Chain A
Amino acid sequence: MTRKENQAARARAHFPAFDLPAPSPTHAADALTPFHQLIKRLSETYGPSGSEEAVRELARAEIKGLADQIRVDAFGNLIALRKGAGNRRKKIMVTAPLDEPGVMVTFLDARGFARFGMLGAVKPLTLPGARCQFENGVIGVFGRETRGAADTEKDADAFFLDVGATSAQDAPVRIGDAACLVGEFRAAGNLLCGKALSGRARGAILIETLRRLKRATHDVYCVFTVQSQVGARGAGAAAFALQPDYAFVLDATPAQDFPGGDTNLALGKGPAILAQDEKMIASAAARQVLLEATRQTQTPYQIQAHARGGGEGAPIQAAREGTVTGALGLPVRYLHTQSEMVDARDVANIIEILTSVFAAKTL
């Protein structure tokens, strides 16, 4: 190879697009299965905590005909019962959230800029330049004060929302209005990415499990909960009403299989069976049921020894005289951002596991 040819080869290596044809796309945009289209619709629907109506209606329409009873409780939880046929049937409750993290307008200044507070665990640092959407379709752009910026990196008070207004009077949003983050759903192979995806993928799991479940042994209550992001407020009320023998919470498990990540939980390696979070030690009996189901279905799983914070398990476990409660986590990268990422194989495996639990002869 001459020196010149060598240089050209190196240039190609550094700039592969220079004279090479574009690689054919690995994943065609129209390749979504009907199930993934359902996840996309759920993901892209507006539903911050306290404003779950649209997501609930979508879920309710999807489970029509798949359950023996469907109702909405005083809190707003959507509860679907599929009756079991087993002689020794138990009452099983499974939860997935309807709501997603978002923001709420707390103040409008004279120039029409909004201040906001968090609905759920949205981190201010992920926001500048990102967009949010209100129930009425209004789009807001997040900004951060520049004066004294060094001090305001983490100071939530230094962030604001630009809703395209020129005064408080002409602002298209009002104090108390809630917005969700904006993030289009995308799929790339097994990776699914979108806003609200961690929660809505779990909702889709419940819907798809009901769809595929031919014959349940046990009475299965699928509970699509409200206000999960602001402290698991809906779940405990549902558990009080249902008094289940077993409760399984579908959780979101932060996966950090990325550069500089802290945990060894990963996407695509199966759902995470929770040992404990800060508010609940998962009931041994419930963990055993989940482990047995992974054996039966030969699905991979991970163990989450300790989860930060608390999910929907604690209020369910502590309802009335106590509930045998376990949690199965869907691994998620970039949790509580507009680009939550999950692996379709983990989603499919959770459906397998739940189906196996619901149809198990004994628990």
Chain B
Amino acid sequence: MLLEKLSNARGVSGDEGAVRALITAHLRKYVDEYRIDALGNVLALKRASRRGASRVPFKLLIAAHMDEVGLLVTHIDRDGALQFEKIGGIDDRVLPAQSVLVGKHATPGVIGLKPRHLTTASERAQVVPADALRIDIGATSREDALRVVAPGAYATFATTFRAFGDNCVRGKALDDRAGCALLCELARENFPFDLYAAFTTQEEIGLRGARVAGHALAPDAALVLEATICDDSPKSREQSPTTRLGAGPALTLADGGLLAHKALARLLAETAQEHKLPFQYKQPLVGGTDAGALHRARAGVPSAVISIPARYIHSPAAVISLDDFGNALKLARAALPRIPDLDF
């Protein structure tokens, strides 16, 4: 299963090579051409299957980001412990005692924490800041550690992909390997427009890959496939769950970086209704995706987002529903051919 391989692949922002290799191996069977740009984005073109006599084909860009949040080794202490920085938005509370894989050789490591036996009640009530934590790879000295890792090495959560509950899966990096898997599926199909599939880099640290991809491809419209916040556990205050797991793909009306193109968002919702596919609206104005950069490319690009709800996003173990995944794929298949007919 491609999603499983993608989730297990290690690719923190700036180090997307392993994910890129999986994706290009898949894509080369299905697309007309692809290239890797200066920022490491995979930009693939699948030409329109039918085209009018003289009409220039519509250019639809569909983007999913390859990178995941993770850690970057910044310094090795004299005793062999690794100092690190967070890459992307990771909550300090999820780090202590996690198993991680460090560097090219995927050296197993543990983010160390003082044993509970030795802590005071007040220590336990506090979150240990990330810069006070160290990764232990079992090295006995800096020299020992340097045999397998060096400053600049990336670390990822060591979680492996598993089936989970009722047709759900658990894994790391489902944000946004779920979107990558969707886009890989879509690239197999034929559409009446030129499909530009962009697998982007460095989304988690500021939409950096998407910014240049949007400029280079100059699409007529853009659709982003994402994994999004799903906070559907019980709350003290009656408030939005952001999205609900299993309630269908989530459509963005507005988020922190985008006011979705109204006609495009409406088309997605109406298509879901017509095809009797479940869908939900993501809580407006929270989060952000590559669409925040893509819609501002050049003279502006009408943009929308389809997301898969992911519980525990940006943590070692996210959970998504394969029903949501399947319904997102069905929705995209049904809606995409209608996009070129919109009056932009």
A residues neighboring B (CB under 8 Å): 49-50, 73-75, 77, 104-107, 109-110, 115, 117-119, 157, 175-176, 227, 230-231, 233-234, 236-238, 240-241, 315
Contact = CB atoms under 8 A, between A and B. Distances in A.
B284 to A, nearest CB: 5
Contacts of B146: none
Contact of A73 (B238, B281, B295, B300): B300
CB-CB nearest 6 A-B residue pairs = A117-B285, A176-B253, A75-B300, A237-B300, A50-B259, A107-B240
Contacts of A110: 238
B239 A115 contact: yes
B283 interface: yes
Contacts of A175: 253, 281, 283-284
A117 B259 CA distance: 13
A240 B281 CA distance: 32
Given A231-B257, A236-B296, 11 more contacts: A50-B262, A77-B300, A107-B283, A109-B238, A117-B284, A117-B286, A119-B254, A157-B237, A176-B254, A233-B296, A240-B298
Interface in B232-277: 237-240, 253-254, 257, 259, 262
Interface in B209-247: 237-240
Contacts of A233: 259, 295-296
B284 A240 contact: no
A241 B237 CA distance: 47
B306 to A, nearest CB: 15
A140 B195 CA distance: 43
Nearest to A239: B299
A118 B296 contact: no
B238 A105 contact: no
B179 interface: no
B301 interface: yes
Given A50-B254, A107-B283, A117-B284, A157 B296 contact: no
Contacts of A118: 285
A104 B284 contact: yes
Interface in B281-296: 281, 283-286, 295-296
A106 B238 CA distance: 12
B239 A157 contact: yes
14 contacts: A74-B301, A74-B302, A74-B344, A77-B300, A105-B284, A106-B285, A106-B286, A117-B286, A119-B254, A175-B284, A176-B253, A176-B284, A240-B298, A240-B299
B108 to A, nearest CB: 40
A298 B237 CA distance: 59
A176 B344 contact: no
Most buried by A among B253, B257, B281, B295: B253
Contacts of A104: 253-254, 284-285
Contacts of A109: 238-239
A234 B284 contact: no
A231 B257 CA distance: 8
Contact of A106 (B262, B283, B300): B283
Contacts of A75: 299-300
Contact of B259 (A74, A106, A157, A230): A230
Interface in B28-75: none
Given A74-B300, A107-B283, A115 B240 contact: yes
Contacts of A105: 284
B228 to A, nearest CB: 14
A105 B237 CA distance: 17
B300 A176 contact: no
Contacts of B281: 175-176
A237 B254 contact: no
Looking at A106, A110, A118, A315, the one whose CB has the most chain B CB atoms below 10 A away is A106
